């Protein structure tokens, strides 16, 4: 899935422009109070031999790495969010796991355990020692009990979040929605996110753009980091 033109619908851009006076609600941000939140870029979702393989996930790795490198360069934080399965997760989310077959549950227990191969971050990601890692046990990293992400962000004075990763319409969307509701300024990077289907990817991004955050492309975020000012982005619908 190579994305060169934004999937944001013209009518949605017009709605936001009418509501906010401009097509992009966040015109500027301070990199030092900003974190790149990389969601679930793990073997479990990127490796073809895994049950939750996302066919488009590997395509976004170069853009994720570009964003991470720029975020570090300008003094922001890079946080790798990893999905983990443990006894506490199963006990606390029976509404989810209770729907699965015994075989699927056994696979998740094995692969997403802390020492599981599926739990590991994808081999081509540029993960540095200074980066932070946070484990989560729900789709959203931001609901109570899912992770310690809020404590981590508070420790570093982070109030602006740039989301990327997989899947756009599941864990990225869930986390971005909850983050905005917790009063974080929220960006979602369109061509640094992936879903199992293009339709699911595009639908989630348009919903997020209308109500929960600003949707941008990688080169637009990079330009904003370089200039540290306007996110005046040309969007082609």
pLDDT at 4 over 80: no
Per the CB < 8 A criterion, the answer to whether 139 and 168 are in contact is no
Given a cut of 60, is residue 233 above it in pLDDT?
A: no
Please name the residue that has the structure tokens 């509404």.
95
pLDDT average, residue stretch 109-130 = 97
Q: Are 119 and 84 in contact (CB under 8 A)?
A: yes
The residue ranges of DSSP E strands in the chain, in sequence order, are: 34-39, 77-83, 132-136, 160-166, 185-194, 214-216
Instruction: Please tell me the least confidently modeled range out of 5-9, 174-178, 190-194, 233-237.
Output: 233-237
Residue 2 pLDDT more than 90?
A: no
Cα separation, 164 vs 12, in Å, equals 21
- Residue 85: the pLDDT is 92
pLDDT in tens, 17-34: 999 999 987 767 899 999
- Domains of the chain: residue spans and CATH: 10-227 (3.40.50.850)
pLDDT digits (tens, 9 = 90+) for 159-195: 999 999 999 999 999 999 999 999 999 999 999 999 9
Decide if pLDDT at 140 tops 90. Answer: yes
Q: Dump pLDDT digits (tens) for 206-230.
A: 999 999 999 999 999 999 888 764 4
- Percent over 90 (pLDDT), the chain: 83
Residue with tokens 């200074």: 130
User: In angstroms, rounded to a whole number, what is the distance separating the alpha carbons of residues 46 and 104?
Assistant: 17
pTM over 0.85: yes
3-state secondary structure of 205: helix
């Amino acid at each position: 899935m190579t994305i060169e033109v934004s999937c944001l619908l013209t009518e949605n851009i017009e709605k936001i422009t009418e509501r906010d006076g401009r097509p992009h609600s966040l015109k500027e941000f301070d990199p030092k109070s900003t974190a790149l939140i990389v969601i679930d870029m793990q073997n479990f979702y990127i490796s073809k031999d895994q049950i939750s393989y996302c066919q488009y996930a590997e395509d976004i790795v170069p853009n994720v790495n570009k964003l991470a490198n720029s975020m570090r360069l300008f003094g922001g934080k890079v946080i790798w969010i990893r999905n983990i399965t443990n006894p506490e997760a199963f006990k606390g989310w029976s509404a989810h796991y209770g729907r699965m077959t015994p075989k699927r549950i056994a696979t998740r227990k094995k692969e997403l355990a802390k020492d599981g191969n599926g739990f590991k971050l994808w081999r081509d990601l540029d993960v540095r020692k200074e980066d932070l890692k946070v484990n989560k046990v729900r789709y959203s990293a931001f609901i109570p009990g899912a992770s310690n992400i809020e404590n981590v962000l508070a420790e570093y004075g982070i109030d602006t979040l740039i989301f990327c990763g997989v899947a756009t319409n599941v864990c990225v969307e869930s986390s971005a929605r909850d983050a905005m509701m917790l009063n974080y300024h929220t960006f979602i990077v369109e061509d640094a996110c992936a879903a199992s289907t293009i339709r699911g990817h595009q639908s989630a991004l348009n919903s997020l753009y209308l109500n929960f955050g600003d949707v941008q492309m990688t080169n637009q975020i990079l330009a904003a980091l370089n200039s540290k000012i306007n996110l005046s982005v040309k969007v082609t619908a």
